[in-house]
Amino acid sequence: MADYYEILEVTHEATDTEIKKSYRRLAVKYHPDKNPGDKSAEEHFKEISHAYEILGNPEKRQLYDQYGEAAFTNGGMGGGGMDPFDLFREAFGGMGGGIFDSFFGGQSRRSDPNGPVDGSDLRYNLEITFEEAVFGADRTIEFQRMSACEVCSGSGCEPGTSRKRCPRCGGSGQIGMSQGFFTIMHECPNCHGAGVMAEKPCRQCGGSGQRKVKRTVQVHIPPGVDTGTRMRVAGEGEPGLRGGRNGDLFVITHVREHEIFQRDGLSVYCSVPIDFPTAALGGTVDVPTVTGKTSLEIPAGTQTGDVFTIRGKGMPSLRGQGRGDHYVKVFVEVPKKLSDEQRNALKHYSETFQSKGNGGSHPVRENFLEKAKRFFQIGA
Ligand SMILES: [Zn+2]
Ligand SMILES: [Zn+2]
C-alpha cells in the first residue's frame, strides 16, 4: 500500500493544518457524489479517507511514523477504521453543512436526512352548488392518502431488522450527475435522500413505511364560500416520517354556476325581464334574491339596462357579520305575440305620438335623430 503522505499529497514535514487542507481538497475531488459510477475514484476516496484518519490524528500519525502501516493492521490499534463518509462530514463539520453544497453546486441538503420530516399537505377540489355556497353545507368527502404501515410502524423494515447505509449514494442521500462542466446533485432514487434504507424491506409496504388508505372526512362549508376558498382540515394530509407532523388537507371549493344569479364576491347580480307597460307606467315586481323573494319598485320610465340595488340581500360574509348587496338589472321585453285587440291598442297608442308630435316623450330617440340630421347636412 502506498505511503499515507503520498496519498494525501503532503510531505512528511506537513503541519496538521496542511494535512487537513489537502485532505479536504482531495476528498471533494474524489467523493463518489462527484464521480458517480467511477469505481477507481471511489477506491481512491477510501484511501484518502483512511490516510487522513491516521495522519489527521497526532497520536496515530506518530505511531505511523514509527511503525508504518503495521501499527494499524492486525493486532495494532485502530483496526477497522472510521467510515469514510463520517470522516468526510466530520472534516467539513466545522465549516457548516452548506460547504458540501457550494462545492458540488447541488441543491440544499436536508440538515438531517434521518430526522423528522413533516408530511405533505393535500388538496381536494370540492364542487358545490350555488345554494351550498349561500347557505353552507356539511359534506362528506372521500379520498386516498398515505398512512404509516401497521406491520413495520412506518420504519419500512421487516420486523426484527434495522436500517443500513444506502449502497447507491454511500449515505449522502444524493447522487451527482454530470451535465457538462457542472455536477448536478439529485436525490438518491434508492433511499429517496435518506442515505439509509431498510436492511430487509417490510413485506407489507415494500420498505416505504407507508401504505395507501381510504379516508372519509366531514367538511363543514360555511355560508359565503366562493370558488377558490380554502378550508383547512388539520392533520389529514400525508403522514409525517420519523416523528414529523402530519400535513393538512386543504379543501378548495368550486362553486357551480347558477341559472339566474351571478356573483362577484359578496355582490349578487340578476337580470329581470319586465313588460313595457310596467317600464312605462311604473309598478312593483317580485324579484328573487339569495335571501328569498322580495318586491322591487319600478319607477315610471324605466329603461332596459337600468340597475336597482337592494341593500343587504347579497352573499353572506365568510367573516360572519353582514351581507353584500343584490343588483337587479332590468330589461324590457317586447311582446312576441299580439292579439288583434292588443295590436289595435298599440296602433292607437302610436298614433297619439304622431298627432301630438314627440314633445320630449322619447328624449334619447329625439337626441339621436337630431345628431343624425346634422350628419346628413354636413355630408350633403
Ligand atoms: Zn411496512
Ligand atoms: Zn441512497
**pLDDT at residue 94 in the model:** 42
Q: E strands of the chain, at which residues?
A: 122-128, 137-148, 163-165, 174-179, 182-187, 196-198, 210-221, 230-233, 249-255, 262-264, 267-275, 283-289, 292-298, 307-310, 326-333
Are 35 and 176 within 8 A, CB to CB? yes
Bridge partners for 269 per DSSP: 262, 327
Q: Which ligand is closest to the CA of 172, given by its number? A: 2
CA of 185 to the centre of ligand 2 (A): 12
Question: If DSSP codes are grouped into helix, strand and coil, which group holds residue 268?
Answer: strand
Q: Can you give the pLDDT at residue 225?
A: 95
Question: Residue 224: what pLDDT?
Answer: 95
The pLDDT of residue 78: 42
Cell 349578487 locates to: 268
Of all ligands present, the nearest one to the C-alpha of 188 is: 2
Rounded distance, CA 45 to CA 50, Å? 9
Measure 114 CA to ligand 2 centroid, in angstroms: 12
Nearest Cα to 102, choosing from 172, 28, 175, 30?
28
**Measured distance CA(170)–CA(84) in Å, rounded:** 9
Q: Which ligand is nearest to the CA of 171?
A: 2
Residue 320 Cα to ligand 2 middle (Å):
52
Ligand with an atom nearest the CA of residue 158: 1
Q: Kindly give the distance from the C-alpha atom of residue 149 to the centroid of ligand 1, in angstroms, as a whole number.
A: 4
| N-terminal to C-terminal alpha carbon distance within the chain | 111
Name residues with Cβ closer than 5 Å to ligand 1, which is an ion. 149, 151-152, 202, 204-205
- What phi and psi values does residue 247 have, to the nearest 5 degrees? -75, 175
Q: What is the pLDDT of residue 114?
A: 64
- The Å distance, Cα 170 to ligand 2 centre, comes to 6
Q: How many CA atoms lie within 13 A of 14 on its CB side?
A: 23
CA–chain centroid gap for 285, Å, is 48
H runs (alpha helix) in the chain: 4-7, 16-30, 39-55, 58-67, 84-93, 98-104, 130-135, 276-281, 340-356, 363-379
Question: 212 CA to middle of ligand 1, Å?
Answer: 11
How far is the C-alpha of 380 from the C-alpha of 377, rounded, in Å? 5
What's the 172 CA to ligand 2 centre distance in angstroms? Answer: 7
Q: What is the residue-level pLDDT of the chain in tens, covering all 380 positions?
A: 578 999 999 998 999 999 999 998 999 889 888 888 888 988 999 999 989 989 998 888 888 887 787 777 654 444 456 777 777 777 765 443 333 433 443 333 445 656 777 888 999 999 999 999 999 999 999 998 888 888 888 788 898 888 888 888 988 888 888 777 777 888 888 888 888 888 888 898 888 788 888 999 999 999 999 999 999 999 999 888 767 888 999 999 999 999 999 999 999 999 999 999 999 999 999 999 999 999 999 999 999 999 999 999 999 998 878 999 999 999 999 999 999 999 999 999 988 886 555 577 888 888 898 899 888 887 55
Distance from Cα 197 to the centre of ligand 2, integer Å: 8
Cell of 57: 490524528
Give residue 201 CA to ligand 1 midpoint distance, Å: 8
Positive or negative torsion for Cα 131, 133, 135, 136? positive
Cα torsion 340, 346, 350, 352: sign: positive
Cα(242) to ligand 1 centroid in Å equals 13
**Given this model, what pLDDT does residue 295 score?**
96
Residue 107 is predicted with a pLDDT of 36
In the reported structure, the alpha carbon of residue 158 is separated from the centroid of ligand 1 by a whole-number distance in angstroms of 7
How many angstroms is it from 166 CA to the middle of ligand 2?
5
**Ligand number, closest to the Cα atom of 174:** 2
Cα(103)–Cα(208) distance, integer angstroms: 31
Q: Which residues surround ligand 2, an ion (CB under 5 A)?
A: 166, 168-169, 188, 190-191
Three-class secondary structure of residue 28 per DSSP: helix
Burial class from Cβ neighbours inside 10 Å (0-12, 13-18, 19+) for residue 230 reads exposed
- The pTM is what? 0.57
Q: How far is the CA of 2 from the centre of ligand 2 (A)?
A: 31
pLDDT recorded at residue 113: 59
> Which has the closest alpha carbon to 123: 257, 255, 253, 318?
253
Identify the nearest ligand to the CA of 149 by its number: 1
Q: Which domains does the chain have, with CATH numbers?
A: 4-104 (1.10.287.110), 122-162+199-255 (2.60.260.20), 262-333 (2.60.260.20), 340-379 (no CATH)
Q: Which of 249, 304, 275 is nearest to 119 (CA)?
A: 249
